[in-house]
Copies of this chain bind each other. A is one copy, B any other.
């Protein structure tokens, strides 16, 4: 029995072709198994004829069967409605590998959220191509792995894959890693690698987006968290946020100002992913935030 003190929480995420009776079938199955729904979000995409749902449930009594039994029984429902699904214990924290370069702002932000309990993840390691962040990471009692640029991209990417394997990593977070991943690594991490791009995509892809923004004279800058794909800065967007700027801002002050936005956007994207709130569909996402 998985019944924890407050009864535990389980997260069921589903996507499928739209069909009548899905909610009734799923809610009915859970009710029969003495599970009580505490949160539910769904989205019926009337254009694509697709259905998406995220349900949080808890045991309503000690008669709720173990999670594996619920999973096994749910397979029938899943088959009937052609569901792609996952069912997780909400207490199981995703294991996250953070990659960072010399700019520490996103790393600081993620680690403080993690320390304070606001971000329910495990961080088995931080990888970097520079030494600058070692002291702070190690002060947090997290192993720091540095593969400097002199060792080459192949060695860096091999280390990312090795750490992912060893630590059973669920998610890689590029917290201003400043390196373009190879197509092979992008594919290997498909759907489980989040990048923060320091512009309001699709504006200003690629290098030096704040300098591009300065040249164009925009009045608002932004940041975008997205899943990494082989198309640079074209992956499914999870979250964006913006910040007003004006003519007095230099490229340098835009960089400075943008840092806060990057931190917030990335932190939300990682949290939502960790809480199974993000469903990828082609080049877009459904986010039950």
Measured CB to CB, the residues of A under 8 A from B are 20-21, 23-25, 27-28, 30-31, 34, 36-40, 42-47, 60, 104-105, 108, 112, 116, 118, 135-136, 139, 200-204, 216-220, 222, 236-242, 246-248, 250, 256, 259-260, 264, 283-287, 289
Q: Roughly how many angstroms separate A108 CA and B204 CA in the complex, as a whole number?
A: 31
For A259, what are the chain B residues with a Cβ–Cβ distance below 8 Å?
A: 118
Q: Roughly how many angstroms separate A67 CA and B36 CA in the complex, as a whole number?
A: 29
- For A259, give the chain B residue with the smallest CB separation: B118
Interface of A is mostly: mixed
Cβ of A126 to closest chain B Cβ, rounded Å? 16
Interface residue from B21, B203, B284 paired with A247 (Cβ < 8 Å): B284
Is A236 within 8 A of B220, CB to CB? no
Interface residue from B105, B220, B240 paired with A219 (Cβ < 8 Å): B240
Interface residue from B37, B204, B284 paired with A44 (Cβ < 8 Å): B37
Q: Roughly how many angstroms separate A23 CA and B118 CA in the complex, as a whole number?
A: 30
Is A202 within 8 A of B216, CB to CB? yes
A-B pairs with lowest CB-CB distance, top 6: A217-B284, A24-B27, A24-B31, A21-B31, A23-B27, A20-B60
For A37, what are the chain B residues with a Cβ–Cβ distance below 8 Å?
A: 23, 42, 44
Cβ of A252 to closest chain B Cβ, rounded Å? 10
Q: Roughly how many angstroms separate A31 CA and B22 CA in the complex, as a whole number?
A: 9
For A118, what are the chain B residues with a Cβ–Cβ distance below 8 Å?
A: 256, 259
Q: Roughly how many angstroms separate A36 CA and B81 CA in the complex, as a whole number?
A: 14
With A31-B24, A47-B250 as contacts: A285 and B241 at CB distance below 8 Å: no
With A24-B24, A37-B44 as contacts: A200 and B220 at CB distance below 8 Å: yes
For A285, what are the chain B residues with a Cβ–Cβ distance below 8 Å?
A: 217, 247
Q: Roughly how many angstroms separate A248 CA and B284 CA in the complex, as a whole number?
A: 12
- For A260, give the chain B residue with the smallest CB separation: B264
For A284, what are the chain B residues with a Cβ–Cβ distance below 8 Å?
A: 216-217, 247
Is B222 within 8 A of A220, CB to CB? yes
A-B contact pairs, 18 of them (CB 8 A): A20-B36, A20-B60, A23-B27, A23-B31, A24-B30, A28-B28, A37-B44, A39-B44, A43-B247, A108-B112, A118-B259, A216-B237, A217-B237, A218-B237, A219-B239, A247-B285, A247-B286, A260-B264
